[in-house]
């Protein structure tokens, strides 16, 4: 059985979210990613390991360097899961906005 870390626990960490934002625009090496943080490189490597185990990041070997890039398919699966909740909150805020406009108009 292939056990994998939970993606939602992985994205709960602000450093890992920052790593995903960095790598979303271009593939990067671990060293290039680590240069953006004020933490030890082994700490960043641990975050990269977790994101890779969750399949949010994929690795590509280019000579001696390992480049990390976003796994768009896995990110879409997260977005698809969250979408109904986003729609629910959008509907609630739209209703609240409508109520507030009616309330202000009556004053």
Going by the DSSP 8-state scheme, the letter that residue 26 receives in this structure is S
- For the stretch 12-49, pLDDT in tens is 999 999 999 999 999 999 999 999 999 999 999 999 99
- For the stretch 54-81, pLDDT in tens is 999 999 998 999 999 999 999 998 999 9
- Tell whether the model's pLDDT for residue 97 goes beyond 80: yes
What integer pLDDT is reported at residue 106 of this predicted model? 73
pLDDT band at 1 (very low <50, low <70, confident <90, very high): very low
Higher pLDDT, 73 or 106: 73
- Tell whether the model's pLDDT for residue 10 goes beyond 80: yes
Grouping H, G, I as helix, E, B as strand and the rest as coil, residue 7 is helix
What integer pLDDT is reported at residue 29 of this predicted model? 96
Question: What is the pTM assigned to this prediction?
Answer: 0.78
| Pairing verdict, β 57-62 and 28-29 | unpaired
Query: How many residues in the chain?
Result: 107
What integer pLDDT is reported at residue 94 of this predicted model? 92
CB contact burial 32-68 (16+ within 10 A = b; e otherwise): ebbeeeeeeeeebeebbebbbebbbbbeeeeeeeebb
């Amino acid at each position: 059985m292939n056990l994998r870390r939970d993606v939602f626990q992985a994205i709960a960490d602000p450093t890992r979210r920052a790593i995903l934002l960095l790598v979303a625009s271009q593939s990067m090496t671990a060293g290039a990613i680590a240069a953006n943080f004020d933490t030890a490189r082994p700490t960043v490597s641990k975050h990269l390991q977790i994101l890779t185990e969750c399949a949010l990041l994929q690795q590509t070997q280019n000579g001696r360097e390992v480049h990390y890039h976003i796994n768009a398919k896995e990110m879409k699966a997260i977005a698809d899961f969250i979408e109904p909740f986003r729609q629910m909150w959008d509907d609630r805020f739209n209703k609240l906005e409508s109520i507030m406009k009616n309330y202000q108009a009556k004053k």
